[in-house]
Structure 1
């Protein structure tokens, strides 16, 4: 059985992550799940030691957990341990010496430009009104590389149609302004001309069938039906195509809302891999 004090502390820690640090719900959920698992194997804060943490991670290795899971568990334990010291639960930061397992970087799946272009015109909508909405969502996601959670949060007032820019609220409530091109502008104008026929929500740019703000699951279904890839892969595709078109890495970082340039750099590996593939197929002496 897990101890009550630690479980209560985990709840407080989750609230701190949410309200003070602005972590995403997905991150908080993952941390809580990991820490509650740890609490089940730790009698009290007295037994919250480096040795116990290492045996907890070793057990995960023997269970065949993925490296990404191990990395998240380590991050959760480190963040919780640091917080617990500040709150007076621990005298020393026990997890500070834990080493984070390196997670292998898998090259993200990307569409080529022709596939992306086809997907933009391939919304599998039940009627014309839904088609206009779905096409506008697809064009905007591909034009900006924004996340689905960011798309669903957009209000009408966030769009500047004279400058072709949109205000986006990203991770950690960080705001950024992203531009979009003529194709997205045209699709957006067509949707806005008829949005009132579907919308009950007065603020949301995109609404669901019942008229309220569209949810992320609906957007995912639209993207997957049109492109045969996930919205995350469409975001990868947008970033890759920007870099292949000559965009500066830091500009792409800003557009995507990455806090670290390291995150954006994975796309340079994608573009170099694709260049190699094209070279090997096309060059007579490859």
Structure 2
């Protein structure tokens, strides 16, 4: 039987592997639907993997199938990132995304092995994040006034949860009113991969939340006097943008939280490099300093691996070494 050119071409198209960009999109759907990755994670992976796919198309046009990519191609790509002035940390993040993608490609049968695992991670400088002292943190959280905050009640509640509960910025902005379990004195937090955990809600944080919620309700009533405006989001933007609109929540963004934390912290004497994650580091470090069990801290922070939590041991050890070097007569 003689087949037409159209039939042969149609079969060839069906057998041809999807382009790299198509496999990136497929992987992103897996991350979103099966693993519950956050919007922030999806954006980061999309950026890193699409950049790599564009590089392969521009530098290696002859490579049309993902199983033709070798570890040397990936190593060369990382070299171009460093040549463009990207930091080693940024380059390591790009490699982590590519490794994760190739791990999925191998499991899905698109490639025989994860060639990205053969590429060494760029050596990163070892530095410990600067953590404010307990006294410094108390000064910041206890003094969220009009001079440092556009909405003091809201911003104080934000700082209380970031430092008092050790939650991530994205976890904070993702909180809904229903996530506050007043009866159990706890909040329900959705962490990475949509993993849920209950975190104790201290008295100071609960008091700040109640004060904020009263103002939140009053502001919504004042702005929407003749309209019933409801939103599940716990923390709202100052102008309540989006509330009352279709699919609108008025939810505060992580970028806005970063600005709020930095403004209050600087005005209360902390360094300009403070960001929401600094408060999370302070939470873990201060718990450890006061004698908390490392595994308990791991649960509170939502760390999947204990090795991640053990970083706080390094923080306190560094602080002990600094005290020793400064005070012990034999250390001078």
Pick the TM interval, shorter chain: 0.7 to 0.9
What RMSD, in angstroms, separates the aligned Cα atoms of the two structures? 2.6
Give 1:167 deviation, angstroms.
0.8
Structure 2, unpaired ranges of 5+: 1-16, 221-228, 241-249, 267-273
- Corresponding position: 1:150 with 2:179: no
Report the equivalent of 1:243.
288
Q: Encode CA deviations 1:103-151: one digit per residue, 9 max, x unaligned.
A: 3442012111111011112325479992112111111211011011111
Report the equivalent of 1:204.
233
Match for residue 13 of structure 1 among 20, 27, 48: 27
Deviates more, 1:145-154 or 1:98-107: 98-107
Indicate the structure whose relative CO is greater, using CA pairs within 8 Å and at least 6 residues apart.
1
Mapping for residues 182-197 of structure 1, pairs under 5 Å: 182-197=203-218
| Aligned equivalents of 1:214, 1:26: Cα separation in 2 | 15
- TM-score, normalised by the number of residues in structure 1: 0.88
| Aligned equivalents of 2:71, 2:317: Cα separation in 1 | 41
Report the equivalent of 1:56.
77
Report the equivalent of 1:220.
258
Contact kept in structure 1, 2:71 and 2:118, CA below 8 Å: yes
- Corresponding position: 1:36 with 2:47: no
Match for residue 132 of structure 1 among 147, 150, 153: 153
Larger radius of gyration: 2
| Aligned equivalents of 1:280, 1:103: Cα separation in 2 | 26
Give 1:102 deviation, angstroms.
4.3
* SS state at 2:256 partner: helix
Report the equivalent of 1:279.
324
Q: How many pairs were matched up? A: 284
Q: Encode CA deviations 1:174-194: one digit per residue, 9 max, x unaligned.
A: 000001322212222222233
Structure 1, unpaired ranges of 5+: none
| Aligned equivalents of 2:321, 2:90: Cα separation in 1 | 31
Report the equivalent of 2:136.
115
Contact kept in structure 2, 1:7 and 1:36, CA below 8 Å: yes
Give 1:55 deviation, angstroms.
2.4
- TM-score, normalised by the number of residues in structure 2: 0.77
Q: Encode CA deviations 1:146-185: one digit per residue, 9 max, x unaligned.
A: 0111111222222122432111111100000001322212
Report the equivalent of 1:267.
312
* SS state at 2:198 partner: strand
| Aligned equivalents of 1:126, 1:114: Cα separation in 2 | 21
Distance 1:140 1:283, change over 3 A: same
| Aligned equivalents of 1:128, 1:49: Cα separation in 2 | 52
